[in-house]
Amino acid sequence: MLSELDLSQRVELYRLALEEADKKGTIYSYLYDILYELAADRVSILQKHPEDKDSVGVSLDKQYMSTSFEIISSKDSINRLKDEFQFVKLSDVSNFYKSLKNNKILYFKNVNQIRTEKSKYFKITAIRRKVTSVIFVQIADINDVYKGTICIESIYCPFINLDSKKEYLINSANNIAQLLNPYISNTDTQKVICGIG
């Protein structure tokens, strides 16, 4: 338990917590920049989990995708993606996940362009959230290992002049990749803080 830690262990935990808070703050600043640069209504990060060496070869039924970060514009009636896109089985979005993993940028001017059967879940939730247009930007580390996806959504009108923004988006994703830790649910976070896990 936390109370049983000696002073040096507490200082180290505090230092790590500050470092983590600084990383998260920087990631949020990149997401805010994207939100305003593209006049988007919502920008979020989707991450696969569990993300460890043991997940290699594990069935897609036992792996998930969740929203780990999210920024919403100040416009009225914009619902949070984070509220409904948590612990989605990769088997339910397998084609969609493969597309995210294999493309630097995917752009759907109209969400009805998302057609494949195994992408149905995302399409349905996008329509329910009144999304008209969406851009996905791959987040990969320097070894080109997939770490997540930036999801940029517009509710009121399609994105325009995307070609002039591609380099900016890829650079933002590369910067986020250097800061992004594997997805940890709130339950896992509590276990680490309490010294259980």
Q: What is the mean pLDDT of residues 163-186?
A: 86
Does 60 or 170 have the greater pLDDT score? 170
Segments forming the whole domain that contains residue 125: 2-194
Please report, for residues 12, 185, 196, the alpha-carbon distance to residue 8 in angstroms, rounded to integers and kept in the order given.
6, 27, 19
Please state the rounded mean pLDDT for residues 164-172: 93
> Which CATH number do you get for residue 40?
3.30.450.40
pLDDT at 194 (0 to 100): 36
Beta strands in the chain (DSSP E): 42-49, 64-72, 88-89, 105-108, 133-140, 146-154
Give how many domains the chain has, as a whole number. 1
Whether residue 45 is predicted with pLDDT greater than 90 in this model: the reply is yes
The string of pLDDT tens digits covering residues 11-36 is 888 888 888 888 889 999 999 999 99
Report, as an integer, the average pLDDT of 163-171: 92
Arithmetic mean of pLDDT, 91-109:
81
- Asked if residue 8 has pLDDT above 90, the reply is no
* pTM metric for this prediction: 0.80
Q: What's the pLDDT tens digit per position in 115-125?
A: 765 566 777 87
Burial class (CB in 10 A: 0-12, 13-18, 19+), 53: exposed
Least confident of 74-78, 115-119, 177-181: 115-119
